Amino acid sequence: MQISNHPTISTNADLRPTHLQIDLARLGSNLQAIQAHVGGAQVMPILKANAYGHGLVRVGQYMQSLGVGRIGVAYLEEGILLREAGVTTPILVLGGILGSQAPLFLQHGLTLTVSSTQKLEQVEAAAAAAGVVAKVHLKIDTGMERIGVHYYNAEGLLEATLRCKHVEVEGIFSHFANADAADLTSARLQVERFQEVLRFYEQHSLPTPLRHMANSGAVLQLPESWMDLVRPGILLYGVYPSAQAQRSVAVQPALTWSSRIVYFKVVRPGHPVSYGSTWQSDHEVRVVTVPVGYGDGYFRAMSGKAQVLIKGKRYPVVGTICMDQFMVNIEQDSAFNEDEIILVGESQGEHITESISVEDLAAWAGTIPYEILTNINTRVPRVYLQDQPLADG
């Protein structure tokens, strides 16, 4: 077991009562299941946004220990953090860049995304000044309207790369807007547009760079998009991208979010609980306090909707969720200080095992699972279960 995000902690007993437990072996199993599903396509795990809340550095080190061919992140800073932690695996930074950042990419051996001829010229100049060759992936916009050269204007960018002496085009990619939907008409149109752009290489008798387009939704339900490389994000962590997406790959959640009761009280009828006095009981109830709140990423929007697990049984969160605490109505049941509370994960009772999923929290908060995972604050310690040694970092 290894503990991250809290360097002074050495044992479970020292942990803040609220923490995440990350099962690295499950991440490994999910990666293996995805790889088996996509066949010959290479799997590039996406570790952006603190590895979807699971911890960028430790997950990056673990992915390297499994021998993945490359890793994807969103920002330059994420790539630098991985390099500083000893991750030497090739890293593609998928997000847009400022030209002034190019020297830092080169300094840390990071692969850049180039989305326009102007960006290409900036990278070429920086690489020439440094006396190196920059590896880049070209971003083609086939329908997302975020970053990337439009598919119908892409030829100029591709031609410009042929004139560069200090840029190696390692890959070319696009991104889906609707690959996790039930109706895949739009996604298939995006594939067709991307294929149109790729014909440039055949027409000029040039080798085609690594082609990639498939995110988690496309991994699940668009085989025609797998090409040379796939980019699973949320699926790697055992969460499906939407309720509509096919469950064609069996994955398991790698994260358990737990806390412990820090206070127990009997609340009389007619005595409101928490800010705004939004909830009160018409009879005497037992209420326990849990030291986690929206300051940790347990969304205030779940007030009056969320549930937690205590000894395999569901109980409602009552009153407004506070920044650092919330309250749970256990009616006339028994619970004690330091009893475990499960916010996400499984809880075993005497005769039953119950679970609460990231998708449950998303439904209560009126959002998507991605937002739940990526909003779990870094003040929540991460505890790692692993199936093989990792390098220190």
pLDDT surpassing 50 at residue 7: no
In a domain, 202, yes or no: yes
In a domain, 18, yes or no: no
pLDDT at res. 386: 72
Say which CATH number the domain at 70 has. 3.20.20.10
User: Looking at the structure, do residues 32 and 133 belong to the same domain, yes or no?
Assistant: yes
Mean pLDDT of 292-320: 97
DSSP state, 30?
Answer: H
pLDDT in tens, 76-125: 999 999 999 999 999 999 998 888 899 999 999 999 999 999 999 999 99
Q: How many CB atoms lie within 10 A of CB 299?
A: 21
Picking from 202, 237, 272, the residue at the C-terminal end of a domain is 237
Domain that holds residue 201: 23-237
- Least confident segment among 193-197, 229-233, 326-330, 388-392: 388-392
User: Looking at the structure, do residues 84 and 211 belong to the same domain, yes or no?
Assistant: yes
In a domain, 323, yes or no: yes
pLDDT surpassing 80 at residue 380: yes
User: Looking at the structure, do residues 181 and 117 belong to the same domain, yes or no?
Assistant: yes
In a domain, 374, yes or no: no
Q: Which residues are catalytic?
A: 48, 275
Picking from 237, 266, 283, the residue at the C-terminal end of a domain is 237
In a domain, 16, yes or no: no
Closest CA to 225 of 275, 255, 188, 196: 188
pLDDT in tens, 247-282: 999 999 999 999 999 999 999 999 999 999 999 999
User: Looking at the structure, do residues 231 and 140 belong to the same domain, yes or no?
Assistant: yes
Query: pTM for the whole thing?
Result: 0.92
pLDDT surpassing 60 at residue 13: no
User: Looking at the structure, do residues 32 and 161 belong to the same domain, yes or no?
Assistant: yes
pLDDT in tens, 219-255: 999 999 999 999 999 999 999 999 999 999 999 999 9
pLDDT in tens, 126-159: 999 999 999 999 999 999 999 999 999 999 999 9
User: Looking at the structure, do residues 190 and 272 belong to the same domain, yes or no?
Assistant: no
- Least confident segment among 107-111, 202-206, 389-393: 389-393
Mean pLDDT of 197-214: 97
Closest CA to 266 of 315, 331, 310, 336: 331
User: Looking at the structure, do residues 27 and 151 belong to the same domain, yes or no?
Assistant: yes
pLDDT surpassing 70 at residue 168: yes
Average pLDDT, the chain: 93
Mean pLDDT of 1-17: 50
In a domain, 297, yes or no: yes
User: Looking at the structure, do residues 182 and 309 belong to the same domain, yes or no?
Assistant: no
Question: Percent of the chain at pLDDT above 90?
Answer: 90
Contact criterion met (CB below 8 Å) for 54 and 376? no
pLDDT surpassing 90 at residue 171: yes
pLDDT confidence band for 14 (50 / 70 / 90): low
pLDDT at res. 31: 98
User: Looking at the structure, do residues 282 and 160 belong to the same domain, yes or no?
Assistant: no
User: Looking at the structure, do residues 152 and 223 belong to the same domain, yes or no?
Assistant: yes
Say which CATH number the domain at 328 has. 2.40.37.10
Q: How many Cα atoms within 13 Å fall on the side-chain side of residue 90?
A: 15
In a domain, 128, yes or no: yes
pLDDT at res. 341: 96
pLDDT surpassing 90 at residue 387: no
User: Looking at the structure, do residues 222 and 260 belong to the same domain, yes or no?
Assistant: no
In a domain, 268, yes or no: yes
pLDDT surpassing 60 at residue 6: no
Q: In angstroms, rounded to a whole number, what is the distance separating the alpha carbons of residues 297 and 311?
A: 23
pLDDT surpassing 70 at residue 11: no
Mean pLDDT of 270-297: 97
| Total domains in the fold of the chain | 2
Mean pLDDT of 160-166: 97
User: Looking at the structure, do residues 219 and 98 belong to the same domain, yes or no?
Assistant: yes
Burial 355-366 (b: 16+ CB within 10 A, else e): ebbbbbbbbbbe
Tokens of 162: 């042929």
Q: For residue 67, what are the contacts with CB-CB under 8 A and spacing of at least 6?
A: none
pLDDT in tens, 319-366: 999 999 999 999 999 999 999 999 999 988 777 788 999 999 999 999
